[in-house]
Amino acid sequence: MHQEAVIALSVIGIVAIFCQWFAWWVKLPAIVFLLIAGIILGPLTGWLNPGQLFGDLLFPMVSLAVAIILFEGSLTLKFHEIRGLQKVVRNMLTIGVAITWASITLATHYLLDFAWSLSLLFGAMMVVTGPTVIVPMLRTVRPNATISNILRWEGIVIDPLGAILAVLVFEVIVSMQLQGHASFSHTVYMFGQTLFLGSAIGGIVAYLFGLVLRKHLMPEYLHNVATLCLVFGVFALSNYLSEESGLLAVTVMGIWLANMKNVPVEDILDFKESLSILLISGLFILLAARLEFEQFEALGIGALVVFLLIQFVIRPIKVFVSTIGSDLTWQEKTLISWIGPRGIVAAAVTALFAIRLQEIGVEHAELLVPLAFTIIIGTVILQGATAKFIAQKLGVANPDDSGFLIIGANPTAIVIAKALNENGYRTRLTDSSWTNAKAARMEGLDTYYGNAVSDHADRHLDLVGLGQVLTLTPQKELNALAGLRFRSEFGSNHVYTLGTEIEKEKDGTDQKSRTKATHGYHVLFGNEITFSKLASLIAQGAKAKRTKLSESFDYEAYKEQYGKRATPLFAINDKKRLYFFTASDSIVPEQGWTILSLVQEDKEKEQD
């Protein structure tokens, strides 16, 4: 049994990462493939049984995982991001929640013949949207900043609110089932207690921990582990004092830390983001594996109608009512109306309450989980497959990430940036020298004046539409630092660096080759092409020249004609894909490709 559990956990991890990888490859939300994988491993093949694998630990594990996910999401919520949008977010979390709750309650009662109490509970659980599906979907859809900020704030903050509402309705159902009546005053008291304790515990712990981080009272290597343990502790303490207030507590804790001044949370956020990806992936597979097809059959067509109402009627009404009087365009409102998928919190809370209600004999309680997954699967698959297309058609999607962030605005960087622009690629140059930045702007190039690795750049350097970075300064330290800084944004495979000088170590190895092996960056134009050499060629009058290869003029003919006068920079194939000439990649341009090179004048022709 022990060996079987190890194998099962290993398979879940491998399948989860494969789903994330495949989703990145096909540009669709990973949750789609995680749900499919869970259904295949669970009800379809019967290989994975989460209840048998984890026993009584399943839902405590799910609860702690959801707490980490919400905390990680709340760490990204900066108040300055919603400046001017506070009213919209507030309305969506109040008026919008009320509209959604009431509408889903009515639909569930009349279409599925659920009792009013059970319908109210399901409505409360389905008001959530959830960061577990919103954030990955936003990465794929790439809407503008306004839409993205509204959806992130709604998705993260609404999860604990939905959980609290569900707890209150659940307590009412239990009281009515066991005692025959429910006390209104007791319900109000519980609601106030949950809000107060959750907010107080999360805020106090966040403030004290923020002071510890700000004053450097804890070594950096303990920051991540200490934060993780604190999240567990806050969640457990808050839930112990007031049931289901833990989600609110960790959300408040994350928002407070994110908005405290001079508190370094970047490394914590990186760690939690990686952990959240693993937890989200595993949880979706486990919860999907618990489904039973017979329960879906028992719901009938009514479940599909409820989903269609949520997608095409209830969500749009919520958004358009909540945004009355705002500056949002109808296109922005339409996309926000379309994107409202349910996620792991809805699945986890529904599964937890369904088990408890079944134990006390509430009719139709066993149908809550398949109904919730009908909504989750429906919203995730439909919205995940169409949101990017709709965003592009509405004109509210950011451009794709094919552009280049160029570190440096010196003459060499300007020549390369102009060559990229002329071939249809966006560039943004950064330089802390006003002379360089001004010269680049005079050439019509998009520039950022400042240090690309500064705190100011973190707040103000716009990376929208940029997916690769070129470090083109004469300072090898700045090149290396910029590569490290933007590696997390673009990935090591999208970082290109230009050598600053040829240095031979005592053992005879080339230092830049060692740098590439260490950092995984691409060395531009080969190890022999340094910044000083390119700068010298440009100063001597070398020009960027486009050359298209044909059947009669292939790459060999190109090299024969230009010889050492040409320094190839990049090539574009017949499908408009760009390839840089680098030290590690041996590109062989073919017929129909275009080569962009830095070409020196032919001195012999000049003499003639």
The domain ranges of the chain are 57-394, 403-607
Residue carrying the six token digits 């970047």: 266
Class of domain 403-607: alpha beta
Give residue-wise pLDDT tens across range 26-42. Answer: 766 677 788 889 889 98
Mean pLDDT, rounded, of the chain:
80
- Give the CA distances from residue 125 to residues 114, 346, 464, in Å, rounded to whole numbers and listed in that order: 15, 6, 35
pLDDT of residue 515: 43
* CA atoms 516, 522, 527, 530: torsion sign: negative
pLDDT of residue 180: 55
pLDDT of residue 317: 95
CB-CB contact of 283 with 344 (8 Å)? yes
Region for 345 from its dihedrals, namely left if φ exceeds 0, alpha if ψ lies in -120 to 50, beta otherwise:
alpha
- In sequence order, the β-bridge partners of residue 404 are 427, 468
Percent of the residues in the chain that have a pLDDT greater than 70, as a whole number: 86
pLDDT of residue 111: 92
Residue carrying the six token digits 């919103």: 134
Residue carrying the six token digits 């991540």: 224
Residue carrying the six token digits 């030290």: 583
Give residue-wise pLDDT tens across range 76-93. Answer: 777 766 666 678 888 988
pLDDT band at 179 (very low <50, low <70, confident <90, very high): low
CA distance 35 to 281: 9
pLDDT of residue 170: 75
pLDDT of residue 421: 86
Percent of the residues in the chain that have a pLDDT greater than 90, as a whole number: 11
Between strands 578-580 and 566-572, the pairing is antiparallel
Residue carrying the six token digits 């794929």: 140
Class of domain 57-394: mainly alpha
Say which residue, 394 or 175, is predicted with more confidence: 394
pLDDT of residue 396: 85
pLDDT band at 304 (very low <50, low <70, confident <90, very high): very high
pLDDT of residue 21: 84
Give residue-wise pLDDT tens across range 163-177. Answer: 777 777 776 776 665
Highest mean pLDDT among 51-65, 378-392, 520-534: 378-392
What is the reported pTM?
Answer: 0.66
The distance in angstroms from the start CA to the end CA of the chain is 87
Query: What tokens appear for 233 in the block?
Result: 């502790």
CB atoms inside a 10 Å sphere around CB 375: 23
Contacts of 68 (CB under 8 A, 6+ apart): 228, 231, 250, 272, 275, 276, 279
CA distance 287 to 348: 8
Q: How far out from the chain centre does Cα 84 lie?
A: 23
pLDDT of residue 182: 56
CA distance 253 to 241: 17
Say which residue, 467 or 394, is predicted with more confidence: 394
pLDDT of residue 514: 40
Contacts of 383 (CB under 8 A, 6+ apart): 137, 311, 338, 339, 340, 341
pLDDT band at 272 (very low <50, low <70, confident <90, very high): low
> Is the pLDDT reported for residue 183 higher than 80?
no
> Of the candidates 288, 290, 380, which has an alpha carbon nearest to the alpha carbon of residue 32?
380
CA distance 31 to 362: 31
- Give the CA distances from residue 249 to residues 167, 236, 252, 260, 271, in Å, rounded to whole numbers and listed in that order: 15, 10, 5, 17, 20
